[in-house]
Structure 1
Amino acid sequence: MAKPPRNPASGILFVDKPQGITSHGVVSRARKAIGTRKIGHAGTLDPMATGLLVLGANNATRLLTYLVGLDKQYTATIRLGASSNTDDAEGELSEPADAAALAAVTDDAIAQAVAALTGAISQRPSSVSAIKVDGRRAYTLARAGEEVVLAERAVTVSAFDVLTITRGEFIDLNVLVDCSSGTYIRALARDVGEALNVGGHLTVLRRTKVGPFSVENASALDSDLETQLVAPATVAAQLFETVQLDAQQSKDLSDGKRIALAPQAATPIAALAPDGRLQGLIQIVDGRAHVLSNFPRDAQPLQQQQAAALEGDTVSEEGTPNNG
């Protein structure tokens, strides 16, 4: 049986990941829904977590490099009163803190612990993170029973706001965190619990923003994902300065020429072709455009090529109709 034609459409896909599925499971679903194997992601979420997952299809995977390092925003619930060997609710919990120790944790003490973890800090990643140790993932070693202690790394927690405090058998903190890429919210939960001497772990995690992109505009995983692809030009315009090319500039840039453009300090700059598509990301050096990444025009889907042929058109090797 012949394989179905690959869908060449390029775009960025913003998905609201549900709980209980891995990020790679979302990628697999997207591959089937869109009709291409060329799909990548700009950072994963744990199966327990929900929220914004950013995928790229076909040529738009080239944009993911610029999305990975964007700041993130999360809402989360930190449970004080027990620690976890995974720093979240999916691990083995310690014995609960005694009631007297938990009662001694005042609102002011919580505020001080949170304040100490705000700003530019050194953070020890969770032992079940995806960081590699001697070529193996830390979580693989930890789950095999090996002791894993990762080196601290510099991160920035620009906001760590306690929204509500609920007291009962445990103390649950609903929090909002704005942070740099590479910050572990599980580690924040662990460190708050350690600072208060009662232990802490994460029970709920939701990614609400990646850079300027919000989960409010993301697609549900069970929606028609093929129709939810966002044009690379639209995404690039939210990340970078743009320059509009005329037809000759567009051709020259495609031919590898370093076209003359007005100096701009911004890097990268999104170069838009006359038809509005993203032609490439460039930097301008001495008044000339240097290409950082090309974004080739998508090939025409096979079914459109066949339809064009039936109408008497010929199709070029690039998949665009030649009408004479």
Structure 2
Amino acid sequence: MTATKTDSVVTPAPTGSVEPPVADGIVVVDKPAGLTSHTVVARIRKLAGTRKVGHAGTLDPMATGVLVVGINRATRLLGHLQLADKSYDATILLGATTTTDDAEGTIVDTAAPTAVGAVTAEAIEAAVAGFRGEISQVPSKVSAIKVDGRRAYQRVRDGEEVALKARSVTVSRYDVTDVRPGVAAIEVDVTVDCSSGTYIRALARDLGAELGVGGHLTMLRRTRVGSFGMDTAHTLEELAEDFTWLPIAQVAGETFPRYDADAEQAAAIRTGRPLSGLKLEPGQTAMFDPSGVFLALYEPHGPVAKPTAVFVS
């Protein structure tokens, strides 16, 4: 799916006693700083007039940018979309470490100005290069990873010491876009393309550790999730004025190979029955009825096609 070629459906925001719109689709939100992803979902529930709203890929309150939100039937589609690859713009401050690996935490250590002054732009570039590709990364202690059934950040807030295991992630792009030296700290702007599960706070922490001066994240903006970028994102204020979403049929048709079923096949698909004699491409195919209604995702299993998810009853 190419987000830049997507046309959105626009419905005026509800006023007075008019019922708000109810849609089956995807809303791409430009999340503001200071709000949790859960709060954004609550706002979308109110605007869409439905409780069935979910999001893909949590953003910390400090972070801004792309948050992909599903409405009604599209909440189930989120798990099937290719949303693993993400892009970020970030600012790293070298010279201090914090309890949370970002600016919201308490500073626990600072480097001497002489040590910070000895860090050159060339040294930063060389250190960044070591974090490209498939790397082993220890997530931030205040991540949402569960430890014995409880979120790591909850355990940290309760005063517990949390030790998380390293995990393999892929950083396909890690570019330094600007370096701003200061007396006691250096600000480094970076652009990152990475796999799901990569913590940009951890990249900031580890870059500072590699350079021997400590580091933490001071700004984070997610610019892409899968094929959904800032070009299709809308602020909450914009959505309150014109509630804009991508219909589930459009998203499915542009994301997956499309199969237009005849009436008999559509009846079978609606009840999730296997279909024989179809030559579907490997992976999932979006199945539509003769009128263009998106019905289900099917995939080939030898001589038959079986459903992976049915979206109509």
TM-score in terms of structure 2 length: 0.89
**Structure-2 separation of matches of 1:252 and 1:6:** 33
- The aligned residue for residue 10 of structure 2 is none
Q: CA RMSD in A?
A: 2.0
The answer (yes or no) to whether the contact 1:11–1:58 under 8 Å persists in 2 is yes
How many residues align? The count is 295
The answer (yes or no) to whether the contact 1:80–1:199 under 8 Å persists in 2 is yes
- The aligned residue for residue 239 of structure 1 is 255
1:286 Cα deviation (Å)?
A: 2.6
- Which of residues 281, 284, 287 is equivalent to 2:300? 284
Helix, strand or coil for the counterpart of 1:101? Answer: helix
- Which of residues 56, 59, 62 is equivalent to 1:48? 62
Helix, strand or coil for the counterpart of 2:110? Answer: coil
The answer (yes or no) to whether the contact 1:15–1:51 under 8 Å persists in 2 is yes
- Which of residues 264, 267, 274 is equivalent to 1:251? 267
- The aligned residue for residue 99 of structure 1 is 113
1:18 Cα deviation (Å)?
A: 0.5
Question: Is residue 201 of structure 2 the alignment partner of residue 186 of structure 1?
Answer: yes
1:271 Cα deviation (Å)?
A: 1.2
**Structure-2 separation of matches of 1:220 and 1:146:** 37
- Which of residues 247, 262, 271 is equivalent to 2:287? 271
The 5 Å alignment of 1:57-96 reads 57-67=71-81, 69-96=83-110
- The aligned residue for residue 118 of structure 1 is 132
1:161 Cα deviation (Å)?
A: 0.5
1:247 Cα deviation (Å)?
A: 2.5
The answer (yes or no) to whether the contact 1:17–1:50 under 8 Å persists in 2 is yes
The answer (yes or no) to whether the contact 1:281–1:293 under 8 Å persists in 2 is yes
Provide Cα deviations, 1:258-292, integer angstroms capped at 9, x if missing partner.
22354334211111222223211110223422011
The answer (yes or no) to whether the contact 2:273–2:307 under 8 Å persists in 1 is no
The 5 Å alignment of 1:296-311 reads 296=312
1:146 Cα deviation (Å)?
A: 1.4
Provide Cα deviations, 1:96-142, integer angstroms capped at 9, x if missing partner.
31111011111221112111111001100000000011111100111
Q: Residues 146 and 217 (structure 1 numbering): CA distance in 2 closer, same or farther, change over 3 Å?
A: same
Greater strand fraction, Structure 1 or Structure 2: 2
Helix, strand or coil for the counterpart of 1:276? Answer: coil
Q: Indicate the structure (1 or 2) with the bigger Cα radius of gyration.
A: 1
1:5 Cα deviation (Å)?
A: 7.7
TM-score in terms of structure 1 length: 0.86
* Greater mean deviation of Cα atoms: 170-179 or 140-149: 140-149
Helix, strand or coil for the counterpart of 1:222? Answer: helix
- Which of residues 198, 201, 204 is equivalent to 2:216? 201
Helix, strand or coil for the counterpart of 1:219? Answer: coil
**Structure-2 separation of matches of 1:13 and 1:199:** 38
